[in-house]
Amino acid sequence: GAVVSQHPSRVICKSGTSVKIECRSLDFQATTMFWYRQFPKKSLMLMATSNEGSKATYEQGVEKDKFLINHASLTLSTLTVTSAHPEDSSFYICSATRGLQETQYFGPGTRLLVL
């Protein structure tokens, strides 16, 4: 149990376009979902915390208008990178948790390349 999927696994887009990444908890209802960004050989940078039905909480330095997060249901959260630039190229990972005492369960990640 506790499987999290992400789609797409890899995306290449042109500069200026928008890209949507989906994160789904497949076999549980996620009370909270998280979005991370990971640079090469670096740790995870938490971008935002998302609760179903409410606005996401963004970490300091993360532009909420550029990284739009929607948490429409207890099993789905989406991250939209708007007007993507080459510097947005990165590995984006989502995670979900199903309770306060639980660990986070991570998706497989999405590799974004902006040309």
Partner 1 sequence: AQSVAQPEDQVNVAEGNPLTVKCTYSVSGNPYLFWYVQYPNRGLQFLLKYITGDNLVKGSYGFEAEFNKSQTSFHLKKPSALVSDSALYFCAVRGRGYNFNKFYFGSGTKLNVKP
- Residues within window 76-105 making contact with partner 1, judged by CB under 8 A: 91, 93, 95, 97, 100-101, 103-105
CB of 32 to partner 1, least distance (A): 5
Residue 18 or 27 having the CB closest to partner 1: 27
Among 8, 12, 17, 42, which residue interacts with partner 1 (rule: CB under 8 A)? Answer: 42
Stretch that binds partner 1, among 11-19, 43-51, 63-71, 78-86 (CB under 8 A): 43-51
Nearest to 60 by CA among 50, 45, 70: 45
User: What is the spatial distance between Cα 56 and Cα 37, in angstroms, rounded to a whole number?
Assistant: 16
User: What is the spatial distance between Cα 93 and Cα 9, in angstroms, rounded to a whole number?
Assistant: 10
CB of 83 to partner 1, least distance (A): 26
The burial class, CB within 10 Å (0-12 / 13-18 / 19+), for 27 is: exposed
Q: Which residues bind partner 1 (CB under 8 A)?
A: 4, 6, 32, 34, 41-44, 46, 49, 91, 93, 95, 97, 100-101, 103-109, 111
